[in-house]
Amino acid sequence: MSLFRTKSIEQSIKDTDDPDHQLKKDLGALDLMVFGVGVIIGAGIFVLTGTVAASNSGPALALSFLIAALACGLAGLCYAEFASTVPVAGSAYTFSYATLGEFVAWIIGWDLVLEFTIGSAALASSFSGYLAQVLDIVGITLPTSISSASDGFVDLPALVIALLVMGMLVRGTKFSSRFNQVVVAIKLVVVAAVIVVGVTLVKVDNWTPFIPPSQPVDESGGGFRDLPLITSLFGIEPAVFGVAGVVSGAAIVFFAFIGFDIVATTAEEARNPQRDVPIGILGSLAIVTALYAAVSLIVTGVQSYTEIDPNDGAPLATAFDAAGVTWMGNLVAIGACIGLVVVAMILMLGQSRVAFAMARDGLLPAKLAQVHPTYGTPHRITLIAGVAIALIAGFVDLETLANLVNIGTLFAFVLVSIAVLVLRRTRPDLPRAFRTPFAPVVASVAVIMCVYLMLNLTGETWERFLIWMALGVVVYFAYGRRHSKLGLRQQPHTATPGPGPRKD
């Protein structure tokens, strides 16, 4: 009953043929790439650009995006190798189960549940911010009491949209994919308009200095929970702007790349996962990195970073409004409002697929892994996840959610990068449709970069993360370890003792 028992690759793939737990293979390479682009282009570009430019990086926001993209790209290469080798739902959870053992797999699965649940809630919250601006266009103002989790009682639009996307996911993955394709097209048109129109409004003086001089942080009243963990551990003085601010900004805008690993979670639903999954992961990352760098230069070129309100929930729209191009601000608000719906939907999709894989392995109640007889989707876990996400989105503010998503995702990237090297050593015989180039170097650098970005998150974020992981350990020992199908298969089968000899 070892904590580090591993589930063979062959068994993982065999389990996908169980008719009660079999997902439909509906997705092609284009579907996966659109899923990737659809989920990545979201709150990071439409919301966090203003926050990070004003509070951390200044015009060097583009560098923050590139640093975060490099960390994601290195981890993405590792994900691509795993997903093409083990085309099973569950992403990093499934990969870890085959390499690092059941307990580590549970930890990473529990972590992914956090990442995708909180991420979906964060995007629903972001949708609410842009919806308020869209409604302002037609003269409607929602009361703060029902439109904000931080300043009011509940964020009702965020809660409602989470329930609506839950319904779409229950309806079917292909249906969700078609809806996603339409919305991604809208988002790309909006982003292209931002770049084309924004270029004509850029004031080069707004980019000077490109990396603003470092400024000390006002630590009055602050403590461990408010400072980056790297400051508390190593005594490195916190600062805004400067090189340290750019790196700190990268840790925050990392949220903008959340979701490319969703492509890996849908590997079991791909028609040709060995070819399509790597294309989906790496193709979507390349597209959005170029778009992010361009948009970040536009937003800091159109409006000086010193004039950006870090608490503005719609910085792109505000930048164009400040430049006198109101129609463009309205277009951005409408496009973002529509686009954020899809991001929330795809993150919810990822959460349900990870929990589905864990339930199929017995680590969560097996009934959660049953699929809908008509739609072929894990409807039970999707319904539970949708309600939980709706409640979180309705009552928790965006900043808290974004930081929790970042640390959870970075932790997953670290384990996947390590697991690639372990599987290379333990199963060199496995056919690999995609191989990570220079794997030892790529995986090692990915681990170092992700850990460093994690250390730049606040002590409060680490505190909440560790509490969640501790809860996961309790759940594993209370339920998962005793109900693990792998563990039950490995138990020795002893014959039932018969009656002994008669004693007359």
pLDDT of residue 257: 81
What is the C-alpha to C-alpha distance for residues 312 and 300, in angstroms, rounded to an integer?
A: 14
Token representation of residue 210: 């490109």
What is the C-alpha to C-alpha distance for residues 404 and 291, in angstroms, rounded to an integer?
A: 25
Token representation of residue 349: 């999709």
Domain ranges of the chain: 23-217+224-490
* Cα-based torsion angle of the residue sequence 479, 483, 486, 490 in order, rounded to the nearest 10 degrees: 110
pLDDT of residue 139: 85
**Cα distances (angstroms) measured from residue 237 to each of 67, 215, 245, 399:** 21, 10, 11, 23
pLDDT of residue 440: 92
DSSP state of 259: T
Identify the bridge partners of residue 147 per DSSP, sorted by sequence position: 155
Token representation of residue 165: 């996307």
Q: What is the pLDDT along the chain (504 residues), one digit of tens a residue?
A: 578 888 887 887 777 776 666 667 777 788 888 878 877 887 667 777 888 888 889 999 999 999 989 988 898 888 888 877 877 766 678 878 888 889 999 998 998 888 888 888 888 888 887 888 888 888 888 888 887 777 778 888 999 999 998 988 888 766 666 777 788 888 888 888 989 999 999 999 999 899 998 887 665 545 667 778 888 888 776 667 888 889 888 888 877 787 677 777 666 777 887 788 888 888 888 888 888 889 889 989 998 988 888 777 677 778 888 888 888 888 888 888 888 887 888 788 888 888 988 998 999 998 888 888 887 788 899 999 999 999 998 888 766 776 777 888 888 889 889 988 988 888 888 888 788 999 999 999 999 989 988 888 888 889 989 999 999 999 999 999 999 998 888 776 544 444 444 444
Identify the bridge partners of residue 215 per DSSP, sorted by sequence position: 240
Overall pTM surpassing 0.85 (yes/no): no
**Cα distances (angstroms) measured from residue 353 to each of 94, 268, 371, 452, 480:** 11, 10, 11, 29, 17
- Second-level CATH architecture of 23-217+224-490: Up-down Bundle (1.20)
pLDDT of residue 31: 81
pLDDT of residue 362: 92
Question: 493: which residues sit within 8 A by CB, 6+ positions away?
Answer: none
What letters, b where the CB count within 10 A reaches 16 and e where it falls short, cover 292-323? bbbbbbbbbbbbbbeebeeebbbbbbbbbbbb
Burial class (CB in 10 A: 0-12, 13-18, 19+), 160: middle
What is the C-alpha to C-alpha distance for residues 476 and 472, in angstroms, rounded to an integer?
A: 6
Question: 70: which residues sit within 8 A by CB, 6+ positions away?
Answer: 449
Q: Where are the alpha helices (DSSP H) in 200-222?
A: none
